[in-house]
Amino acid sequence: MSAPEPTYRKLPGRGLGWSGFARIWIAEEHLLEVNSLLVSERYRRFFLRDISALVIRRTKVGLAWNIVHGVLGGGGALLAGGLWWGSATADQGAQEVLQVLAVMTSPFAALFLVLFSINLLLGPTCRCHLQTTTAGWHALTAPTRLGPARRFLARLAPLIEAAQAAPAPPPLATEPSR
């Protein structure tokens, strides 16, 4: 008779990195990190009894993206507004060209301003690291935002403590040597 399949529950937070989209799932006795990129998936398993530390540190990645999106969005909006304002004082031929350029610039400015707003609403970024007794430090690809990372830690800490408080399984019986 085969062992029953583990039941997985999704933990808070997700990530996006060079290895694709990431989620962390939990089963009875282990964490499962799943990275998906197009048609491939990569799995890493961490047993709760082997986890010796979980570190969440705040990063400046979100601030950097806000600066990039803010500069591009604000600069694009100023450029589009300047082109439109300049078309009001220009002659007929230049007026149409400036208005077309303003209309072409506006969607890009709006896109970057929307990205700026979304990144601002998602909150500060963070990086999670996990240390195991068997393989050392691992950088987790999820969660990447501080709010979900705190909820992740709140759900995971009691489960790790419970798994490590349980007695170790008995060793396998071996035949005596002759």
Q: What are phi and psi of 33, to 5 degrees?
A: -95, 125
pLDDT score of 46: 92
For residue 21, list its beta bridge partners. 16, 36
Q: For residue range 21-66, what is the model confidence (pLDDT) as tens digits?
A: 999 999 988 999 999 988 889 999 999 989 999 999 999 999 999 9
CA distance 145 to 128: 10
| pTM listed for this prediction | 0.75
Determine the average pLDDT of the residues in 121-149: 91
Burial environment of residue 46 by CB neighbours within 10 A (0 to 12, 13 to 18, 19 or more)? buried
Select from 160, 146, 166 the least CA-distant residue to 50. Answer: 160
pLDDT score of 174: 67
